[in-house]
Amino acid sequence: MPSTNDVPVRVKRLEHGEGLELPRYATGGAAGMDILSAEDIVLEPGMRHAVATGLSVAIPDGYEIQVRPRSGLALKHGVSVPNTPGTIDSDYRGELKIIMINHGSEAFAIHRGDRVAQLVLAPVTRASWVEVEELDETQRGEGGFGSTGGVVSLRA
């Protein structure tokens, strides 16, 4: 059901995407749209593959589409999106492909029409660099890489 927050995104169905549903929200409260595979592929353990979707899009200026893994695939099979969230820029016009990886111990079959990832349309805030001689001080300072704590068993 359309809402007042809907942003129109033009989508072009490619020949190998014929007959597949467009990305859609599975529930009324879903933040991500499920996107389907337009190909059959078996991901062997450790294998990466850019899964075809049969779609290309024209994302409006000022937005990006983030590609995120499906939690069920990650938990149950170890199949994920390695560069999560992946970014599709507004000026890209090629086919949407979902980079997937099998972290599991068994081969995982992806069939045409399977839901392989989620797409989230998000506004983009662009940075404007301001070079300075000094930065303001904070309590954390230059501490990084676990300096604020973490796993209890790793504390020294």
Global confidence as pTM: 0.85
Whose tokens are 């506004």? That residue is 123
- State pLDDT tens for residues 94-117: 999 999 999 999 999 999 999 999
Residue 29: per-residue pLDDT: 94
Burial class from Cβ neighbours inside 10 Å (0-12, 13-18, 19+) for residue 92 reads middle
Q: Please write down the HEC assignment for all residues of the chain.
A: CCCCCCCCCEEEECHHHCCCCCCEECCCCCCCEEEECCCCEEECCCCEEEEEEEEEEECCCCEEEEEECCHHHHHHHCEECCCCCEEECCCCCCEEEEEEEECCCCCEEECCCCEEEEEEEEECCCCCCCCCCCCCCCCCCCCCCCCCCCCHHHCC
- State pLDDT tens for residues 32-53: 999 999 999 999 999 999 999 9
Return all residues near 43 (Cβ < 8 A) that are at least 6 apart. 49, 79, 100, 101, 102, 107, 108, 109, 110
The hierarchical CATH code for the domain 31-125 is: 2.70.40.10
Q: How confident is the model at residue 152 (pLDDT cuts 50, 70, 90)?
A: low
The domain ranges of the chain are 31-125
Q: Report the percentage of the chain scoring pLDDT > 90.
A: 85
Q: Please name which of 46, 44, 30, 37 lies closest in space to residue 96, comparing C-alpha atoms.
A: 37
pLDDT over 60 at 1, yes or no: no
- State pLDDT tens for residues 10-23: 999 999 999 999 99
